[in-house]
C-alpha cells in the first residue's frame, strides 16, 4: 500500500511549515524523514497520517485521497506513533497494547484469538512481554516508548508511521526496533520514520527525505541524500558517510565556520 504526498503545503498556527513536499513511500521499504530541529518532520508525519489538514497538495493512500477513507478504514491500515509519549490512564502494559486491536473489533466484542496473537507478537517484538502486567505509570521512559510502538504493531497496519521512535532507547533496543521495522517492510508493508540518528537512517532505511525549514533538500537513497554538501546545507556541519566493518556510519566532524 503506497502512501504518497504531492506538492504538500501545510501551516501551523497560520505559520507556513511545509512547502511543496513530494514523497512516495512504497511497500517493502523503510523511509526516513530527517532534518534539524524545526525542519517540519513531525508536521509532515501528521499530515501523512491525516491528522493535520494541508493547505495545498494531496496525500494519497493506495492511490486514493485520505478523505476517501473513513476513520475506521484508515485505522485498520495505517498506524501512527507520535513523538509525545503520553498515556492518560494507569492501565497495565498489555491493556495499552491491546488498544491497537480496536479498529479490528466489533464494539463490545470479546478479544479474539487473532487479537491475542497480535498482542503477544507485538509485546515480544518490542521486548516488553515481561512488563505486560505492570501499570504504564511504573515503567521507564524508554520502556514506555517500546510499549507505544507495540500498540501500533498490534494494529497490524499496512502503513506504519513513527515519529522519533528510537529517541530514549538504549543501543540494543534501537537495533531491535529497526530490525523489527525491516521485517515489517520485508513482509510487504510500508514504514515511515522521523529520525535524528543519521547512522540508523543510513543503515536501515531504503529512502531518505532530508528537510530544512519545511523544504526538501534531498530525496533518494541514503548514499545520495547523506552527501556532505546536503548535510552541510541542512545541518550546518561537516559530515561524511563512511562504512565501518560493513556498516554505514555518518561521522560529524565539526560545525561549518
Residue 206 C-alpha from the chain's centroid: 14
DSSP track, 175-234: HHHHHHHHHHHHTT-EEEEE-S-HHHHHHH-SEEEEEETTEEEEEE-HHHHT-HHHHHHH
The SS3 call for residue 50 is coil
Per the structure, the count of domains in the chain is: 1
Q: Which stretches in the chain have pLDDT values below 70?
A: 257
CA proximity to 3, closest of 208, 191, 188: 191
Give the model's pLDDT for residue 257: 66
- What range does the domain containing 71 cover? 3-255
**What pLDDT is recorded for position 255?**
84
Q: 165: Cβ–Cβ under 8 A, 6 or more apart, which residues?
A: 81, 145, 149, 177, 193
Please choose, from the candidates 44, 38, 63, 76, the residue with its C-alpha nearest in 3D space to the C-alpha of residue 160: 76
Pairwise CA distance, residues 60 & 142, whole Å: 33
CA distance linking residue 93 with residue 147, whole number of Å: 7
pLDDT at 95: 96
Q: CATH no. for residue 121?
A: 3.40.50.300
Cα angle 180, 190, 42 (rounded to 5 degrees) comes to 90
- The answer to whether the predicted template modeling score (pTM) of the entire model surpasses 0.75 is yes
Q: Would you call 160 exposed, middle or buried from its count of C-beta atoms within 10 A (0-12, 13-18, 19+)?
A: buried
Amino acid at each position: 500500500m503506497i502512501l504518497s504526498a504531492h506538492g504538500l503545503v501545510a501551516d501551523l498556527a497560520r505559520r507556513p511549515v511545509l512547502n511543496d513536499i513530494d514523497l512516495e513511500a512504497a511497500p517493502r521499504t523503510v523511509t526516513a524523514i530527517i532534518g534539524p530541529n524545526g525542519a517540519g518532520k513531525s508536521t509532515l508525519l501528521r499530515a501523512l497520517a491525516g491528522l493535520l489538514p494541508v493547505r495545498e497538495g494531496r496525500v494519497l493512500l493506495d492511490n486514493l485521497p485520505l478523505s476517501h477513507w473513513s476513520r475506521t478504514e484508515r485505522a485498520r491500515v495505517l498506524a501512527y506513533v507520535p513523538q509525545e509519549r503520553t498515556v492518560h490512564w494507569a492501565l497495565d502494559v498489555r491493556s495499552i497494547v491491546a488498544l491497537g486491536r480496536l479498529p479490528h473489533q466489533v464494539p463490545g466484542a470479546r478479544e479474539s484469538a487473532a487479537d491475542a496473537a497480535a498482542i503477544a507478537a507485538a509485546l515480544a517484538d518490542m521486548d516488553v512481554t515481561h512488563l505486560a502486567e505492570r501499570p504504564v505509570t511504573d515503567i521507564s521512559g524508554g520502556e514506555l516508548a517500546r510499549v507505544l510502538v507495540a500498540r501500533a504493531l498490534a494494529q497490524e497496519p499496512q502503513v506504519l508511521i513513527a515519529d522519533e521512535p528510537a529517541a530514549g532507547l538504549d543501543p540494543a533496543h534501537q537495533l531491535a526496533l529497526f530490525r523489527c521495522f525491516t521485517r515489517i517492510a520485508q513482509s510487504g508493508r510500508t514504514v515511515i520514520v522521523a529520525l535524528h540518528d543519521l547512522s540508523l537512517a543510513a543503515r536501515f532505511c531504503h529512502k531518505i527525505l532530508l528537510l530544512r525549514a519545511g523544504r526538501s533538500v534531498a530525496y533518494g537513497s541514503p548514499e545520495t541524500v547523506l552527501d556532505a554538501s546536503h548535510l552541510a546545507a541542512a545541518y550546518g556541519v561537516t559530515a561524511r558517510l563512511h562504512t565501518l566493518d560493513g556498516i554505514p556510519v555518518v561521522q560529524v566532524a565539526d560545525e561549518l565556520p
